Amino acid sequence: MQKNIIALSLSLAVALPLSASAFDLSGAIGSVTGSKSDSGSGGDAVAQQDALVNSYVAANKEVLTAQYKMASALGASDAAALAKAEAAALGSGATVDSLSKADSVQSDVSKAITERQNAVGNNMDAAAKKEYASGLASLGKGVIQYAAMTTKFNAFKNAVSSVSPLALTKLSAGAYVVKTFPSNSSNLHKTLTQAVSFAKSNAIPVPADATSAL
C-alpha cells in the first residue's frame, strides 16, 4: 500500500509541477503534453477535477473522522470537536479555501493527538481503547482511499491536456489537490504508522483496516 502511495505522489509531483501562489496550470499542461494547451473548453477537465476532488474530500472526511475518534479516546476534547466539525463541513463543491482549511485542521488535530499519546501512555480504560481502535480503522480506510486516487488523477491529467488558458481558472481545486497530495499522503502514512505503534505498545487492538493500509 505504501508503495502505491509513493508512486502516486511521485507522479503527481513530476507530472504537474504547479505554482504554489496561483495554482497556475499553464506550465503544467506544457509539461504533460509537451506544448501549450489548445482551445478546449475544459468541460471534461472540470468533470475529471470534480471526480478527483470528491475522492480527495471523501478520504479527508474519513481521516477527520478517525482523528475525532482518536482524540476523543485520548481525552483531547477540543481537538476532537474541531475534527468532528470539519468533517461535517467538508463536502461536495469543495474550494481551495475549504480544502486548505481541512488540511490545516488535520495538521492541528494530529499534533494534539501526538501530544496526548505522549501524556496518556497506557492510562486508557477499555472504552477509550475501543474508541481509539475504531479511529485506527477509519484512519486505515482514509489511507486506502488516498492510494485509490490513481485512476482519477490520471483522468484529470489527461483531460487537462486539452484545456484552454481561459478554462484554467475552473481547475484551481484540482490543482490544489495535485500540489498538496504528495506531502499529505506521506504525513498520513507516518501518522498511521505511529498510531499503530502506539496501539501495539498499549494493548489496543489494531483493526485489519489499519494493518492492510501499511
Cell of 106: 488535520
Residue 43 vs residues 63, 84, 152: alpha-carbon distances, Å: 30, 34, 15
Residue with the three cell numbers 497506557: 122
Distance from C-alpha of 19 to C-alpha of 24, rounded to nearest angstrom: 5
Q: What Cα–Cα distance (Å) separates residue 47 from each residue in 3, 13, 17, 44?
A: 28, 22, 21, 5
Which pLDDT tens digit goes with each residue over 119-130?
Answer: 987 889 999 999
Q: For 54-107, what is each residue's pLDDT tens digit? A: 999 999 999 999 999 999 999 999 999 999 999 999 987 899 999 999 999 999
Sequence-distant (6+) residues with CB within 8 A of 201 are 122
* Of 21, 56, 12, 5, the residue nearest 160 (C-alpha): 12
DSSP three-state, residue 176: helix
Residues 6 or more apart in contact with residue 139 via CB below 8 angstroms: 62, 63, 66, 67, 70, 188, 191, 192, 195, 210, 213
- State the Cα–Cα distance between residues 169 and 123, nearest whole angstrom: 51
Grid cell at residue 57: 474530500
Contact 139, 69 (CB under 8 A): no
- In degrees rounded to 5, what are phi and psi of residue 83? -65, -40
Q: What is the dihedral of CA 138, 143, 144, 147, to 10 degrees?
A: 160
184-205: average pLDDT: 95
- Cell numbers at residue 111, please? 499534533
Each residue's pLDDT tens digit, 141-161: 999 999 998 888 888 888 887
In this structure, of 108-112, 132-136, 176-180, 191-195, the range with the lowest mean pLDDT score is 176-180
